[in-house]
């Protein structure tokens, strides 16, 4: 069973349906007991970083996310959910994140279109990652005005190019993050999500 954190900010329904289409059970929940019993968990997110952290703290789900990460079971942050895994964000002032991954979320700056929106090709930096098992580099769909800058290169699994190298997928131990929405990113997106779910179910190591 895959727990999807319900903290009021995320495409909960679309993520849940994608998990089910891939043949896994998904439960949208804020119940600590249900979360703790899950094989894997997904932290989705749409909106502003500070608002999301406030919602997580008010519902005490910030502690549940950290506890799940500490359990060693696979955790996936999607879009804003990925950004929340980092130490802090400069969106609407400095806001502290979950601090599961060291690094900062910053705004795109430059003479180009913001937000970054559209299909961009992934570049796999750590092809041995189980997330990439059986996959080839391809395009996924991005919509974001802020991007994560990990402190450690070892946490960076894949990038894309948008006038600079942009963080696309991150990982440290059992904690994973995708800046794009895999459920809205065609075949490759669903394959990446499927590999994460296979990790959570114990069918891929």
So which residues are the catalytic ones?
79, 181, 183
Segment 105-109 long-range contacts (CB within 8 Å, at least 24 positions apart)? 105/49, 105/146, 105/147, 105/148, 105/149, 106/146, 106/147, 106/149, 107/145, 107/146, 108/145, 108/146, 108/147, 108/162
**CA dist., res. 91 & res. 40, Å (int):** 29
**CA dist., res. 109 & res. 166, Å (int):** 12
Burial letters for 113-146: b for 16+ Cβ neighbours within 10 Å, e otherwise?
eeebeeebebebbeeebebbbebeeebbbbebeb
| Cβ-Cβ contacts under 8 Å for 121 (sequence gap 6 or more) | 137, 138, 139, 160, 161
Query: Tokens standing for 120?
Result: 């961009």
């Amino acid at each position: 069973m895959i727990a999807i954190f319900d903290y009021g900010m995320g495409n909960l329904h679309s993520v849940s349906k994608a998990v089910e289409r891939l043949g896994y059970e998904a439960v949208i929940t804020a119940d600590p007991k249900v979360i703790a019993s899950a094989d894997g968990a997904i932290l989705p997110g749409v909106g502003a970083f500070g608002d999301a952290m406030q919602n997580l703290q008010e519902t005490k789900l910030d502690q549940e996310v950290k506890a799940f990460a500490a359990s060693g079971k696979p955790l996936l942050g999607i879009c804003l959910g990925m950004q929340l895994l980092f130490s802090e964000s400069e969106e609407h002032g400095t806001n502290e994140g979950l601090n599961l991954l060291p690094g900062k979320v910053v705004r795109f700056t430059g003479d180009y279109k913001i937000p970054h929106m559209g299909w961009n090709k992934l570049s796999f930096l750590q092809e041995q990652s189980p997330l990439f098992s059986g996959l080839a580099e391809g395009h996924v769909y991005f919509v974001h005005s802020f991007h994560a800058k990990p402190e450690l290169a070892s946490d960076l699994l894949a990038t894309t190019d948008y006038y600079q190298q942009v963080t696309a997928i991150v990982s440290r131990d059992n904690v994973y993050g995708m800046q794009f929405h895999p459920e809205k990113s065609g075949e490759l997106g669903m394959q990446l999500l499927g590999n994460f779910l296979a990790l959570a179910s114990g069918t891929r190591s």
